[in-house]
Structure 1
Amino acid sequence: MTGLSVSRTVPIPVKRRFFDQCILPAFLYAAETWSLTKTNQSRLEIAQRRMERAMLGITLRDKKPNEWIRRKTGLKDVVSNAQDRKRKFANKLNNHKGDRWTTRLTKWTPNKKRPLGRPPKRWKDDLTR
């Protein structure tokens, strides 16, 4: 975290704006192409909570609930933000007319069967819920 985010003299609205404009885009770079597994989601949530605690100047020892921290900072959930970005990207790909490589790539399926057992999560799996 930068000095601006952890400074005690900077008000929370300024920190929130800095987070939304600078940290969040870097944090979710290329999130449209991720297949969000539960492990990745929990890592994003943990990282965001850690940043929020640093913004407020509290530690885990203070034992403040996550809902309280979220109310104080007023930040958006990173996981839902990543899912929204992915949905918008999928809509954009779906609305393209013609023979673009992105459309061809998302509609392409390999000529072999998936292996036995639990299959790995695909990009499309997040969109079908």
Structure 2
Amino acid sequence: MWLGAGGLALLLGIVGIFLPLLPTTPFVLLAAFCFSRGSARWEAWLVNHPRWGPMVRDWRTHRAVPLRAKQLATGMMAVSCTAAWFAIPSAWRVMPALCCAVVATWLWRLPTRQPASAPAASAPGKAAD
């Protein structure tokens, strides 16, 4: 059951790459959670994947989302909701905005990961060896 749920979550995350209203990161993190309970092999594959592995490892290490990821996700949701407003019949056009508002609220309530500081050797006033 965990393996199937992880596979479905990963599939939704992949679809989310192409559909802006469907977020990718939460589904990939959900897939990692499910795989950790259902299949050590699939969990290892996801954690070591060149595209999704860093996101999973970063979440597990810091339990925080980078500021840039929050900004990009919010911007993409805003653009998608605006487009959906004009594409969906009037009775349902508010639904994408409500869903995106819930996701954005959840996302911005998560801790924000600060960018890594620059190495000391590249600091201003320091001479390189």
Is the TM-score greater than 0.5?
Answer: no
**Higher relative contact order, structure no. (Cα contacts within 8 Å, ≥ 6 residues apart):** 1
Q: TM-score range by the shorter chain?
A: under 0.3
